[in-house]
Amino acid sequence: MTIGLGIIGLPQSGKTTVFNALTRGQVAIVGAPSPGKPNIGIAKVPDSRLDKLTKMFEPQRVTPAQIQYVDFPVYLDGKNKARGIRGEMLIGLQQSNALVLVIRAFKDPSVSHPEGLVAPYRDIDLTQLELVLSDLVILERSQERLEKELKGAKASERGWIKRDYELISRIRSDLESNIPLRDQSLSSDERRSIVDYQFLTDKPLLILFNIGEEDLSTDGVLEQDLSASLGRSNMLTTAMCGKLEMELGQMAPEEEDLFRESMGAGESGAGKMIRLSHSLLGLDCFFTVGPDEVKAWTITQKEPASQAAGRIHSDIERGFIRAEVVSYDDLVRCGGIAESRRQGVFRSEGRTYPVQNGDVINFLFNV
C-alpha cells in the first residue's frame, strides 16, 4: 500500500530541505528554484513497537511501514514568484493522498523571501489561494460541460444532470467564499460523487512551520498556537527545523541518536512529522512476525481482515480462511506466541473482523 503526500510551498520556504529531512535524501538545495521533475522519496514510519518485536523474535530483517513524499517544483514568473498550479504539478498533486504545506518561519538574510518579509500566516493564505484557484478552474469547466449536456439530454437524464450541476454550483459558491472543500458541508453521497475530480482543497492538509534553530526552545508553544488557530480533524499542524533535521538525517543512526541524547532532545522533528502524516490519513498498521521477518503493514483504520490480508498478497485475500490474531499489548505482556495461546488471547477471527492498530496476525488461506 503506497501512500503519497505532495510537498508544496512558496519559493525559498525550504520545502526541498524538509523533503531531505523526511526521506534522508540528498537532493541539492539550490538558491533559485527552477522547473523540473519532482523529487520522490520514501520515509520509514517510526514505531517503537517494532523494536520490542525485534527483540522478541530476533528476525533476519525488520521492515517498518513506509510513506512516500513528493517534492513538487515551483513554477516561477520573471519576478521569482510562483505562477500557479498546472500541468504535471497539478496531476501529481491530484494523485497525492494528502498535501504538506511548508511555510517559511525561519529568518535568514542570505535567503531572500519572494514577498519581501517573512510572514507565515500571509504565506498560508497565498498558498491556499493557489489551491482554491486550481479547484475553481475545474469547477468552472465542469459547469460548462454539464450545461451543454443538459441542453441535449433526454428527459430521463435531466434529473441527475441537474443534481450534479446544483452540487457543483454550491461547491463553487462556497469555494469563492474561501471555504475549502474539506470544510464544506457535504453528505457522504455528495463526497463520493466528486471523488474523481480530486479537488486539491478536499485533500487532508498538514501545515509545517519551517523554523530556525533559534526557535527550537519555543517550538512547543508555537505548535500549541498553530493547533488552536488552524488544526482540525482533516488539517494538522506542526513545527520543525528543516535544516537541522536534514543535517541530522545525513548522520549514521547511532551518531544521530548520540547527538540527540547530548542535546536532551526527544523524538526527532522528522519522525513526528512522519507520524502525523500517517495519522492525517487515518492509517493504522498490523504486524506479521517470525524468525525470517518482522514487518509492519499499512492499512486504513478498522480495515476488514480479508482486505488486510490482501496487503500481503492477493492470493491470501482470495483464499482467506481465518486470521489468528493477538494484540501487540497482549503479546508483549505474555512474552511470546506460545504463552499468548496458553492464556487464550491468541484468537481466531473471520474475514469481516476489523483489524485493530498493532494487531499481530497470522493469516490462514487456501488457494
Cα 12 from chain centroid (whole Å): 22
pLDDT for 327 = 97
Residue 105, pLDDT above cutoff 80: yes
Q: pLDDT of 186-205, one tens digit each?
A: 999 999 999 999 999 999 99
> Residue 336 belongs to a domain with what CATH number?
3.10.20.30
Domain end (from 147, 174, 201): 201
pLDDT for 252 = 83
Q: Is residue 121 part of a domain?
A: no
**Among the listed residues 335, 353, 55, 309, the one whose alpha carbon sits nearest the alpha carbon of residue 345:** 335
Q: Is residue 236 part of a domain?
A: yes
The band of 95, judged by pLDDT with boundaries at 50, 70 and 90, is: very high
Site of grid cell 507520524: 275
Domain end (from 201, 232, 262): 201
Residue 218 has what DSSP assignment? G
189 and 219 part of one domain: no
209 and 89 part of one domain: yes
What values do phi and psi take at 294, rounded to 5? -110, 125
Amino acid at 294: V
Residue 102, pLDDT above cutoff 90: yes
Number of folded domains in the chain?
Answer: 3
Q: Is residue 41 part of a domain?
A: yes
Residue 33, pLDDT above cutoff 60: no
Environment class of 244 (CB within 10 Å of its CB; exposed 0-12, middle 13-18, buried 19+):
buried
What's the rounded Cα separation, in Å, for the pair 9 and 276?
18
**Residues 203 and 190 sit within 8 Å (Cβ to Cβ):** no
Q: pLDDT of 290-310, one tens digit each?
A: 999 999 999 999 999 999 999
What's the rounded Cα separation, in Å, for the pair 241 and 268?
10
Domain end (from 177, 201, 225): 201
161 and 26 part of one domain: no
Q: pLDDT of 125-137, one tens digit each?
A: 999 999 999 999 9
For 57, the 3-state DSSP assignment is helix
Range of the domain at 311: 302-365
Q: pLDDT of 75-94, one tens digit each?
A: 655 455 556 687 888 899 99
pLDDT for 225 = 86
